[in-house]
Structures are given as C-alpha cells and as structure tokens.
Amino acid sequence: MTTKQQYDQYKTTMQKIADVKYSNALLQWDQETYMPTGAANVRARQLATLSEIAHEMSTTANLGDLLTDLLSKDDLSAEEKFNVKQSHEDYFKQKKYTSVFVRELSEATSAAFNNWVKARNEDDFSLFENDLNKLIELKLQEADLLGYQNHPYNALLNEYDKGATVAQNDLLFEALKKGLIPIVEKIKAQPQVNDDFLKQHFPKDQQWQLGIEVLKIMGYDFTTGRQDIAAHPFTINFGSTDVRVTTRIDENDFSNMLFSCIHEGGHALYEQGLLDENYGLPMGEYSSLVVHESQSRLWENHMGKSLEFWQHYYLELVKRFPKQLQQVDVNSFYKGINKVIPSLIRTEADEVTYHFHVMIRYGIEKLLLTKQIKAKDIPAIWNELYKNLLGVIVPSNANGCLQDVHWSHGSFGYFSTYSMGTMMAAQLFQSFENQYESNNEYNYENKIRKILFWLRENVHIFGKAKNTNELCISISGENLNVRYLLDYLTKKYLAHP
Amino acid sequence: MTTKQQYDQYKTTMQKIADVKYSNALLQWDQETYMPTGAANVRARQLATLSEIAHEMSTTANLGDLLTDLLSKDDLSAEEKFNVKQSHEDYFKQKKYTSVFVRELSEATSAAFNNWVKARNEDDFSLFENDLNKLIELKLQEADLLGYQNHPYNALLNEYDKGATVAQNDLLFEALKKGLIPIVEKIKAQPQVNDDFLKQHFPKDQQWQLGIEVLKIMGYDFTTGRQDIAAHPFTINFGSTDVRVTTRIDENDFSNMLFSCIHEGGHALYEQGLLDENYGLPMGEYSSLVVHESQSRLWENHMGKSLEFWQHYYLELVKRFPKQLQQVDVNSFYKGINKVIPSLIRTEADEVTYHFHVMIRYGIEKLLLTKQIKAKDIPAIWNELYKNLLGVIVPSNANGCLQDVHWSHGSFGYFSTYSMGTMMAAQLFQSFENQYESNNEYNYENKIRKILFWLRENVHIFGKAKNTNELCISISGENLNVRYLLDYLTKKYLAHP
C-alpha cells in the first residue's frame, strides 16, 4: 500500500469512530432536551453500548499497526503528520482502558446523573452520595490506568487540558486569588449598583426571540445549528456542520438567558469554525477545554458585557422591552449587568467573584481525589468555604454543592478550565484589540465580524494542532497567565467607578 | 457454559445490537424533526456507519455458533425457544448481506431522500430519477442476495410481511378491487356530502393541543413518548419505553392533522405495548408491517372515523372550535370526515378510494422490479393510472408520483401492507366487537380502554411470536381476507345512505 492509501485508510477509520462518538453525542443531546422520562434506563444502556463500540474501534490491532507504520513515513504533509502523531498518542492512551471499564463508567455516570437530578430536586444530598463515591473510585482507577506523576488529579486535569498539572493550576489560582481580593475590596467600597430592572418580568417568548437574534449577530450559523431549551445550558456538536446550543429562560431574571446564550454561542462558533474536511481527525477537534472556554468567555464577557456592545445594541433591546427598560439608560444597564456581588450560583456569578466558585470546587476535588474526604463530607466543607471565601451563607445543598451537573458526569478536573479559559479570553481579546485598534476605523458591526474572522484564523482552524499554551504564545507572545484578566477587571471596575 | 449462561450471552448480544439500531433510529428521527439542513451529508455517513456496525454485530461467527448451539437445547422455555429460532433465521439472512452492501444502501437512501425532497419542492422528477434507478438496482441485488421463488418482488414483500407473495397479494388486491368498485359506484349515486367546514381556518396551536388530547384519550403514554412536527408524519421508537409520533398541521385542512395523529397514535400504542423485558429480542419486536398497519388503521378508521367516537367527543371538539363548528351537528361532522371522493393524495384519501392509490403503487413497483419500465417512465404511467382507476387528473409530479417518501427510502414492497393492514384492522375490529357487545354494557370511554387492553392481550404482547396470518386465525378464526373490510365499508356507506 502507498502512504496515501494508508493515510486514506486511517482517515476512513477515524471518521467511522467519529460517526459513533457523534451518534453518542446525539443520544446525550436528546436526553437533555426531548427524551421522555420513561426512557432513562434504556438510554443509559444505549449510551454505554456506543461508548463501548467507539472504544473498541479506537483500539483495534489494525489501527495500531497502521498508525505505527504511518508514523515512520516521510511523505506526509505537516498536517497529516500532526494527525497521525496525535492519533498514535490517543491510540495508546485508549489502549489503557478496558471495554468493561468504559461501559462501567458510562453506566455509572448515567445513573449518577439521574440521581443527581433527583437529589437536587428533593434537596437531599444523600440520594447522590453513593453515586459520587462510586464515580470518584472509578476516576481514581482511571488515573491509575492512564498513569501520572506526583498527583492522581494530574491525570484527570490532563484530559481537559493537555499538560495541565496541579502544581501549575495551584500557582495560577494563587495569583488569581491574590489579584482578585483587592479588586473585590475596592468594588465593595463603591456605591451600590442597582440591577433591580433585570429582575422584572421578561416574557419567555420575547426572551427566546432575543436569544436567537443575538446568536445571529454574533455570526452563529443556523443552517448548521439550532437552539433548544434544556435544564442546564450546553453546547454540543455532531461534526462542525451540526453544532447545537441550549438555553434556559427565567422570566424574572433577564440576564440569565441573555448571557448564557452568548456564552454558549461562543462555544458554538468555535465548533462551527473547525474545518469540515477534518471531520474525525485531530485537526478537526477543539484544542482543549481551556481554549473552548476562552471562546465562550471572550464572547460573554469581553463582547456581551462590554459597554461598546450595548452602545451599539441597546436601542434595539429597549424596543423589544419598552415597558421594562425605557426608564433605564444604557450606562445604567451596563452597570447593572456587570454588578459585582458574591452569590450562591456559579453560572450566575459576576466576572470577579466567579473565580472563587471555581477555586472552591477545585479545592474540594483535590481533597476527594487524595481521599482526604469522602462524598459525605462535601456539604459541610462546601458551606464553610462559601462562608469564608465569598461570605455567602448556603441555604440548601440544592443551591450549594448540588448546583452543578459536572460531578454527576464524572467530570473531575473540568472546573479549573473555567478560570483558565477566562484568563485566556482576556489574553486573546487584548491581542485582538491591539491589532484592531491600529488597523481599523471604528464600527461595531464591523468589529464583531472582524473578531469572529480573527478567532477563526488564529484559533479555530488549528483544531488540536496547537495546544492552550502554543495558542497563547503564538497570539500574545506569552504563556497563559493572570495578568491580562486582572488588568481587564481593574480597568473595567476600578478605572471608571 | 450452562444453557442459561448461553441464553444470557445471546440476550446481551441482541440487546447491544438493539442499542445500535435504536441509536440509528434516533439519528433518523432527528433528521426528520430538528436537524439543521447543513448537516445532511454528515448525517448520511453517521447513519451508514451505524447500519454497518449493526450488521457486523449481527453476523459475527460467535453469534452464529451460539445460536446454532442454543437451537439444539431442550431446556429453554417456549418463549426462549422462539427467540432463538427467530434470531437464528435472522442471522443467516443477515449473513447474506455484505457490510459494503449495507453501507452502500444506507448512503444511497440518504442521498435519494435529499434529492426526493428537492425534486418534490421544485416539482422536477428528473432530480430524483437517477437515485431511483440506483435504488431499484440495489433492491434487485438485495432480492438476489436474499433469494426468492418466482418473482424478485417476493423477496422484498417478505421483508415487510413474512411469507407475503406477489401471487397472494394479486389475489387479495383483485378481490378488493372487485368489491370496492360497486361500492364507489353506489356512493357516487348518493347525494353529495358537504365537508366545506373542514376547510376553514383552524389555528395551529389549537390543533396541536387537540392532537395531544386525542392521543391521551387513546391511551398513549407521554412518559414514554412525545409528539413533534415533521414534514411527513411517522412513528418511531427506541425501545418500548421511548415511542415517538410526529404530525403535521395544515391550518386550512382540519382532518389532515386529526386523523394522521390518530393513525400514528395507533402505531405508537403497538410499540408501547411490546414488553420492555423483551428489549432487543424477537418477542420484543412488532410482528409485521401488516400487523403494524392494522393497529394504526383500526384506531384511525374504526375508532376515529366512527359515529360512536364523535357522539362521545363532539361536544368537547365544538367547545375547542366554536366559531368553526357550532353550526355543524355531529351527524354532518361524521359524514364530512367520511366523505368519499377520488383524490390526488394517498394520505388524505377516504377509506374507500384509498386502496386504489395503493394498487397503483403496487402495480408500478412490479413493473420496475421486472425491469419492464425504468424510473423515467413512472410519471406517465402514474398519471395514466390515476386517470383510469381514480378518474383524477394529476396536475404535477409533486402531487403525483413524488408525493410519497417511501421510494426514496428504498422501501419497495411496503405500500401493499397499507391495504393488507386495513383489511386486518377490519377483521380484528369485528372480532373485538363480537366479544365486546356480548360482554359489556355500553360506555364509550370504557370501550376505548377495553380495546387497548384487548389489543395488548391479543396482538401486542406476542411481538414477533405470531405472524400476520397466525394472529388473524387466532383472533378471528380466518386467514387475512377482504370480506371484513368490504362488509364494514358496505355497512358504513351503503346501509344508512
């Protein structure tokens, strides 16, 4: 066989594996949007079977031989070489898992998800405790399977951001905390911001229409996407030609839908920006969850929560909601949506105190994974940390340690990507601003188009070919760091009080 | 291994195959309901991959050996024996297909479906012609793979109704035609029925609510089902705990949604009536498409289009649509929804002339599969047959030979099950009536509950364990025949003119 024939065979295999993984993703999307409740058990086994099949297809001896063969070829293009190298690495990682383990983990997370929903609805942590212990056990087994240096958590962090370590995360979180505390203190000393107008009644249908409109303004392509309602907003895709967002609508909390919609839109633009020709290949996959989060946070915070955006769009918004907003001027609106106040719920937190939520979860995960605590200890520690770090009294586990879905998915090591991604967003956005300001006459619509184009060119098209730090360095000349985020927050909150 | 262990292993394998098939079905459901248009190509390959995987899993040497082994065991229950026997037969049938053929057929039908949609929208048959020729070629290959006696069409008919033959179908259609023609003639001589009130404006949302309500009245369980909008109403399931219906709403044609909703509801009740414990096993699958259609037609015609039903429900209907219906009494409504008039569109045809639509398609399929005609000849023959058999001038291919989706799915041999199923519905319903009348005091709500219970007990729970004729004989003491349908239509349309 020629190298080209071998490469084609590799590509065909990878595309078939992707077909199964994306079918699995559709089962998940459906589970969270439209699936009738009575189907939960059967869906769990369908998910487990597709996971098992994808794993088996990813670990055949044929594929291993083919990859090893291709790795030694010198007549591949740079992109082809990258794909082969990455797939070769993934192959040997996948080989560390048994099919039995893959199925067990899939079934355990389905059960945990269902029990988490119950526990949260009934505000009864004990309904979720056993599942959580079981998942921690499985994730520790996974860390052992994958291997790690220094800390089992490193193996899991690595799954979401290749190369991430506890040591590095600790340093970044420490610097972030040190930078944020004085900012919070200074904001506290400012006059209280009024955001009562956001808590008026905003009818569901009108909010929905606004969300669709905002996604269109961002450049989200509805011929390769759609929005639906889900209990917990998320973005999911089945290739770059089918990238779906979900949202939720609280009729009495306007900013909830609006910013979750922009956030998910940012994730979705990334997936729509991956090249269809790379379907199933590493070049066709997102770089890391940190990079993914940098996209959602860039759109949510640096665009959607900017004064510029609302100077451009506020008149239209007031036209849609005259009763609620005609007494509110654009500056008051801007201040309201950016009000800083320590709160209970991470997804509704402001840009400044948000990171304390993440740090609390990161700290608890470290304790769980080093067996210093068990699931049953979480509520007490959670509540204690919220009191100490945020000054917030947690009234119930439903609004406390049960608020987020991630642990029920077995996603330990995921949360820290939220803060790292937010840092990266600030780093990217400043780099864009530097170039944009020097090149363009100001026009906000033009700026939106430009930033999407810039992200496509500098981030999206590379897929996995550049990791988090490589992207940061190639774009900003620096490693991922906290400075850009702290500068941005300082300028936003302290320069014009 | 003990027999029990072997049987468990067989069951596990079958359940995993079902997981893949039902995942494939979810991809289809999504394609017809919510999928963004830009995803068509990628979805086609995802469907093809899952088809290929299901086929590979269904034809492993291990499964063959296991089935052959189990077939000789005498310590299996009757049900277990049936499952093994049926799976053994299916296994050797599946072995006749190559994976390449399965993938090719799946990809060809996806392409054909997309081109059929285009051809129909643009009223341009030529856009679909090549796909159709390709599919006919593939279906003839399939007939050769499967083997047949006398007629290649027999192999395809057999896929939808085991044991069905051209010879038998010809006889039944001949008898049906002979019986229907004088009925149509006599109806023509009756005073014209007024159904203008059905063509008023019935708002979409209210129609939707009515559809949901009617499904509930029938006993459709929304905890294991849901309804969505699709261009072409269908029922699909992913196990008996997730059985979904779709409908379409024409605001200016009230009966369209109403009866398609009841029709699909009938299909769905059958799938919800299969036992969850038989998931993946032959006992957990519907008997044949004829039996499936008997369920939908029984609910649509014998219940939904009966005077009894509307005597029970008409006041409620008028309450929902007072403006449109308050001037219409229940007898006029009943006559209107049962108006007999030859028409263009099969799915909107009345109970009497409906079967001519089916016969036309059946005749054309025979010509195609014996290569007496090619795809390009269809429009002319179609239009000629509509003129001769129904007296209807076909104004466009979009409303003529492009109206139905089936051929784009490669479903040749499917249409005749519509008439056979309708015959069976009449046969079943009369058997129920005989028992019901002698056992029960009259109460329509009670009757609805009873008939569902009766269908569950006499049809649903058997799954594949009884074929079409076995069910007909066990319930009515007779083979499937035309007498019941003709008697029913005579009584309905000619006894009380």
* pLDDT tens per residue, range A44-99: 999 999 999 999 999 999 999 999 999 999 999 999 999 999 999 999 999 999 99
Two structure tokens written together for A461: 């098209």
Q: Which of A184, A461, A469, A484 is nearest to A350 (CA)?
A: A184
Does position B221 have pLDDT exceeding 50, yes or no? yes
pLDDT in tens, B267-276: 999 999 999 9
Intra-chain end-to-end CA distance of chain B, in Å: 69
> B27, B47 in Cβ contact below 8 A?
yes
What residues in B contact A50, CB-CB < 8 Å? 19-20, 23
**Residue of B4, B78, B24, B166 whose CA lies nearest to B466:** B78
- Given CB atoms, is A50 within the 8 Å cutoff of chain B? yes
Measure the CA–CA gap between A257 and A265, rounded to whole angstroms: 12
Amino acid B497: pLDDT = 46
This model of the complex carries an ipTM of 0.95
CB neighbour burial string for A279-292, b if at least 16 within 10 angstroms, e if fewer: bbbbbbbbbbbbbb
Asked if B315 is an interface residue toward chain A (Cβ–Cβ < 8 A), one would say: no
DSSP A321-373: SHHHHTTS-HHHHHHHHT-----S-GGG--TTTHHHHHHHHHHHHHHHHTTSS
Residue A205 touches partner B, C-beta closer than 8 Å: no
Reduced to 3 states, what is the DSSP secondary structure of residue A159? helix
Closest of A276, A264, A274 to residue A465, by C-alpha? A274
- Say what the alpha-carbon torsion angle B403, B408, B410, B413 is, to the nearest 10 degrees: 0
Q: Residues B127-177: pLDDT tens digits? A: 999 999 999 999 999 999 999 999 999 999 999 999 999 999 999 999 999
Gap from B224 CA to chain A (nearest CA, Å): 5
Cα–Cα distance, A164 to A3 (Å, whole number): 34
Task: Collect all residues of chain A within an 8 Å Cβ-Cβ radius of residue B31.
Answer: none
Half-sphere exposure of A390 (CA within 13 A, CB side): 27
The Cα–Cα gap between B143 and B156 comes to 6
- Does the pLDDT of residue A298 top 80, yes or no? yes
Q: Following CA atoms B427, B431, B434, B435 in sequence, which dihedral angle do they give, to the nearest 10 degrees?
A: -160
Question: Active-site residue numbers of A?
Answer: 264
Q: Do A20 and B50 make contact, defined as CB atoms within 8 angstroms?
A: yes
For residue range A245-261, list pLDDT tens digits in order. Answer: 999 999 999 999 999 99
Size of interface A-B (CB pairs under 8 A): 110
Q: How far is B56 from chain A (nearest CA, A)?
A: 12
Between CA B444 and CA B421 the distance in angstroms is: 24
- List the single residue in B with minimal CA-CA distance to A17: B49
Sign of CA dihedral A256, A257, A263, A267: positive
Any chain B CB within 8 A of the CB of A477? no
Alpha-carbon A344 to chain mean position? 20
pLDDT band at A440 (very low <50, low <70, confident <90, very high): low
The rounded distance, in Å, linking the Cα atoms of B105 and A158 is 41
Q: From residue B70, how far is each of A404, A462, B78, B81, B91 by CA, in Å? A: 48, 53, 13, 8, 13
What does the block give as tokens for A397? 């586990």
CA A189 to chain CA centroid, Å, is: 32
Pairing of the two strands B243-247 and B225-229: parallel
What single string gives the DSSP state of each residue in B390-410?
Answer: I------STTTTTS-SGGGGT
Query: CA B462 → CA A434, B283, B285, B291, B312, distances in Å?
Result: 71, 6, 9, 11, 31
User: What Cα–Cα distance (Å) separates residue B82 from each residue in A63, A259, B61?
Assistant: 39, 57, 21
Question: pLDDT grade, residue B219 (50/70/90)?
Answer: very high
pLDDT exceeding 90 applies to what percent of chain B? 96
What is chain B's mean pLDDT, rounded?
A: 96
Q: Cβ–Cβ of B279/A42 closer than 8 Å?
A: yes
Interface contact flag, A36 B223, Cβ < 8 Å: yes
Cβ separation B238–A39 shorter than 8 A: yes
pTM of the entire predicted model = 0.95
Residue A89 structure tokens: 């690495």
Considering only CB atoms, A42 lies closest to which of B34, B239, B244, namely B239
* Contact between residue A375 and residue A129 where contact means Cβ atoms under 8 Å apart: yes
pLDDT tens digits, B168-192:
999 999 999 999 999 999 999 999 9
Tokens of B247: 């409908």
Per-chain mean pLDDT for chain A: 96
Q: Is the pLDDT of residue B9 over 60?
A: yes
Nearest to A452 by CA among A240, A283, A298: A298
Interface test with A, best of B15, B20, B49 (most A CBs within 10 A): B49
Kindly list the residues from chain B whose CB atom is less than 8 angstroms away from the CB atom of residue A20.
49-50, 53
Strand spans (E) along A153-234: 225-229
Burial class (CB in 10 A: 0-12, 13-18, 19+), A248: middle
**Cα–Cα distance, A395 to A382 (Å, whole number):** 12
- Please give the Cα distance from A284 to A345 (Å, whole number): 34
Tokens matching residue A147: 């291997």
Report the pLDDT averaged over residues A369-394.
Answer: 97
Average pLDDT over residues B319-327: 97
What is the pLDDT at residue A442?
72
Mean pLDDT of all residues in A393-415: 96
Name residue A111's amino acid. Answer: A
Q: For an interface test with A, which of B21, B35, B42, B223 has the most A Cβ atoms less than 10 Å from its Cβ? A: B42
In whole angstroms, give the CA distance from residue A306 to residue A69.
51
B328-334 contact pairs (CB < 8 A, 24+): B328/B197, B331/B307, B332/B194, B332/B197, B333/B197, B334/B307, B334/B310
Q: Under an 8 A CB cutoff, do B53 and A49 touch?
A: no
Considering only CB atoms, which chain B residues are within 8 Å of A12?
none
* Minimal Cβ distance to B45: which of A19, A228, A244: A19
Q: How many angstroms separate the CA of residue B226 from the nearest CA in chain A?
A: 7
Angle (deg, nearest 10), helices A3-33 and B40-58: 100
Name the catalytic one among B159, B264, B300, B365.
B264
β-pair partners for A235: A245
CA distance A385 to chain B (A): 40
Q: Is B35 helix (H, G, I), strand (E, B) or coil?
A: coil
Chain B residues near residue A221 by CB distance under 8 angstroms: 38
Would strands A235-237 and A243-247 be described as parallel, antiparallel, or unpaired? Answer: antiparallel
Tokens matching residue B5: 């262990």
Residue A258 neighbours by CB under 8 Å, 6+ apart: A207, A210, A211, A214, A304, A337
- Say how far apart CA A296 and CA A287 lie, in whole Å: 14
The DSSP H or E segment spanning B362 is helix B354-369
Model confidence at A497: pLDDT above 60: no
Average pLDDT over residues B413-434: 97
Crossing angle for the helix pair B354-369 and B378-385, nearest 10 degrees?
150
First vs last C-alpha separation in chain A: 69
Edge-to-edge strand ranges of the sheet holding A225-229: A225-229, A243-247, A235-237
A43 part of contact set with chain B, CB < 8 Å: yes
Contact criterion met (CB < 8 Å) for A242 and B53: no
Is the confidence at residue B440, as pLDDT, over 80? Answer: no
Q: How many angstroms separate the CA atoms of A217 and A303, rounded? A: 11
- pLDDT, one tens digit per residue, over A331-344 is 999 999 999 999 99
Residue with tokens 């002979």: B178
- Measured between beta carbons, the chain A residues lying within 8 angstroms of B22 are 42, 46
Taking alpha carbons only, the member of B376, B397, B473, B305 closest to residue B119 is: B397
What's the confidence (pLDDT) of residue A495? 87
Give the one of B36, B49, B242 whose C-beta lies nearest to A242's C-beta.
Answer: B36
Quick one: which of B279, B281, B261, B276 has its CA closest to B220?
Answer: B261
Q: Please tell me which of the candidates A37, A222, A224 has its beta carbon nearest to residue B223.
A: A37
User: Residue A366 corresponds to which amino acid?
Assistant: K
Strand partners, A243: A225, A237
Question: Higher pLDDT residue, B14 or A1?
Answer: B14
Phi/psi class of residue B410: alpha, beta or left (left: φ > 0; alpha: ψ in -120 to 50)? left
